[in-house]
Amino acid sequence: MCFNWKVSLGTFIFSWSSALYLLTKKLTKLQKNNIYFLMIFSSIQLADTILWLNNMKQNMVNYLVTSFLIPIILSAQVLFNLYVRNNFYNILLNIFVIFYIIILFNQFNGYSTNVCNNYFSSPLWGAYNSSGKPKRSPEITLGNLILFAFLIFYPNCNKLVFWIGIFFPLMHYFFFAGYGSFWCFAANIMALWYLIKY
């Protein structure tokens, strides 16, 4: 888990270095798309690094990272999986994705803070609204996290079963909040997996 700027930055550097190394190999189109997805996915660690280095202060840096950079990276993950990796194009999906992205930007509009209720302190994205007041339901709910996982892993059922059926419930049980740090763990696992597999 990413509990400080060094771990977040280290994860970003490790994931991107692994990805850039793998892109020098002869890969299939599917493998290249997986590596590109890893790069988008692990970019969230750069956003977390900025939040950590800013000490989660409620200032313009925090607001811009939380309200724009994080939802842009999350949206890019959804768009890349659905439209680049899987070539899904239909009007209902397009409408749903547009509304989902609007919801992401709305959910994270505001400021992030850190969660210090366990050893794995992590950024709590969008905990405060744009006026600096605590939100009633900050961050990603478990249900939204499951929907997000569905959108970024569909149609790979093995990954869906692992993340939704095993990983998210365990993390929800142990950590309660700061789910954004899941990206740290997952980015490291994906980078290692692709280094071994490719």
What was the pLDDT predicted at 179? 61
The domains of the chain are located at: 5-197
Q: pLDDT tens digits for 96-108?
A: 999 999 999 998 9
- Mean pLDDT of the 133-139 span: 72
In angstroms, the CA 81 to CA 65 distance is 23
- For 23-110, list the strands marked E by DSSP: none
So what's the pLDDT on residue 77? Answer: 95
Check: pTM over 0.85? Answer yes or no: yes
- In this predicted structure, the answer to whether residue 121 has a pLDDT above a threshold of 60 is yes
Q: Residue 175 above 80 pLDDT?
A: no
Q: Quick one: pLDDT at residue 89?
A: 81
- 1 confidence band (pLDDT: 50, 70, 90): very low
Query: Could you tell me the two tokens for 90?
Result: 């239909």
Least confident of 14-23, 49-58, 86-95, 111-120: 111-120
Angle between helices 5-22 and 29-42 (to 10 degrees): 160
Distances (CA, A) of 142 to 50, 117, 146, 147, 168: 25, 18, 6, 9, 8
Q: Is residue 155 reached through a cis peptide bond, with omega within 30 degrees of 0 on the bond before it? A: yes
Confidence class of residue 4 from pLDDT cuts 50, 70 and 90? confident
Quick one: pLDDT at residue 26?
Answer: 94
Q: Per this entry, what is the length of the chain?
A: 198
3-state helix, strand, coil in the chain (%, to 5): 70, 5, 25
pLDDT above 90 as % of the chain: 47
Structure tokens at 9: 């930055």
Q: C-alpha 163: how far from its chain's center?
A: 13
